[in-house]
Structure 1
Amino acid sequence: MMPSGQIQQRKSLFNKLVDITGLSVGLATFLIGLFVAYDVIARSVFLMTNSWTTEVTMYMMGYITFVGAAFALKEGSHVSVDLLVQRVSPRACRCLLLVVDILLLVLFAVLARLSFDFFMEAWESGEVSDTLLSVKLWIPYFFFFIGMVWLLLVLLFLMRQQQLSLKNKEGAHD
Structure 2
Amino acid sequence: MQPSKRDGVFTLVVNAGGIVAAVGFGLLALLVATDIVVRNLALARWPWLNEVTEYLLTLSTFLGAPWVLRHGGHVNIDILLRLMSPAVARVVVRVSYVLGAVICGICAWLAITVLLDSRASGAAVFKNLVFPEWWLMLPMVWCFTLSTIEFVLRIGGEVRPT
Q: TM-score, normalised by structure 2?
A: 0.88
Q: Distance in 1 between matches of 2:124 and 2:44?
A: 26
Match of 2:155 among 148, 151, 159: 159
Which of 84, 92, 95 in structure 1 is aligned with 2:91? 95
Counterparts of residues 122-161 of structure 1 (less than 5 Å): 122-161=118-157
SS at match of 2:36: helix
CA shift for structure 1 position 139: 0.8
CA positional deviation for 1:74? 0.7
2:50 alignment counterpart:
54
How far does residue 58 in structure 1 lie from its aligned partner after superposition? 0.8
Q: Percent identity?
A: 24
Larger radius of gyration: 1
The amino acid that maps onto 1:109 is G
Q: How does 1:7-18 map to 2 (within 5 A)?
A: 7-18=3-14
Q: Does the residue aligned with 1:162 lie in a helix, a strand or coil?
A: coil
Report the Cα offset of residue 9 of structure 1: 3.5
Bigger RCO of structures 1 and 2 (CA < 8 A, at least 6 apart):
2
Q: Aligned letter for 1:152? A: T
**Counterpart for residue 75 of structure 1:** 71
Q: For 1:64 and 1:8, how far apart are their aligned partners in 2?
A: 28
Q: CA deviation at 1:158?
A: 2.9
Q: Which residue of 2 aligns with 1:169?
A: none
Q: Is the 8 A contact 2:21 2:64 kept in 1?
A: yes
Please report the TM-score for the alignment, with normalisation by the length of structure 1: 0.83
1:39 aligns with 2:35: yes
When you count helix as a share of all residues, which structure comes out higher?
Answer: 1
Task: Show structure 1 runs of 4+ deviating over 6 A.
Answer: none
1:108 equivalent in structure 2? 104
**Superposition pairs of residues 18-29 of structure 1, within 5 angstroms:** 18-29=14-25
What is the CA RMSD across the aligned residues, in angstroms? 2.0
Residue 64 of structure 1 aligns with which residue?
Answer: 60
- Displacement of 1:46 in angstroms is 2.9
Report the number of matched residues. 160
Q: Which consecutive unaligned segments of at least 5 residues does structure 2 have?
A: none
| Deviates most, 16-25 or 44-53 | 44-53
